[in-house]
Amino acid sequence: MPTIAVGSDHAAIALRRAIAAHLTGRGLDVVELGPGDGEKSDYPEQARLVAEAVVRHDAELGVLCCGTGIGMSIAANKIAGIRAALVHDPVTARLAAQHNAANVLCLGGRLLAPEYATELVDAWLDTAFEARHQRRLDMIAALERAGD
């Protein structure tokens, strides 16, 4: 079973926990990262922890949650090798996997109910990447290398 790193800042602790429990219920190995109750945390640091776990292959995929998901997606995409996608509905969740091979999913804890967020996670996990999009992923990787 793949390992999934799930992280959040203080704004989305409840969503992180709900997603981690859901993934464990699916039989997946979960590494949960982020603050505990009452602890403050900055989303760039949590994004870095999950993104680096994915890049190091400590986890195959990552899920990041903050208030809106926007900050997490911006921060995670600064890590070479990460393709983080902010999604709000099942269509974008599926397309993040199918077209973009997103290896990190970003969600807004202040915007999404946990039940709906887990539907989005399932849509992403249950959708395979279509190889016809590989050329574009190679172009993205070239952009990363050019920025080094």
- Radius of gyration of the CA atoms of the chain, in A: 14
Beta bridge partners of 3: 29
66 is catalytic: yes
What 3-state DSSP class applies to 77? coil
Taking each helix axis as running N to C, give the angle between helix 13-25 and helix 114-125, from 0 to 180 degrees, rounded to the nearest 10: 50
From the list 10, 22, 65, 66, the catalytic residue is 66
From the list 88, 99, 106, 133, the catalytic residue is 99
99 is catalytic: yes
Element (H, E) at 71: helix 70-76
Separation between Cα atoms, residue 114 and residue 102, nearest integer Å? 21
Token look-up 């979960």 returns 30
The residues assigned a catalytic role are 66, 99
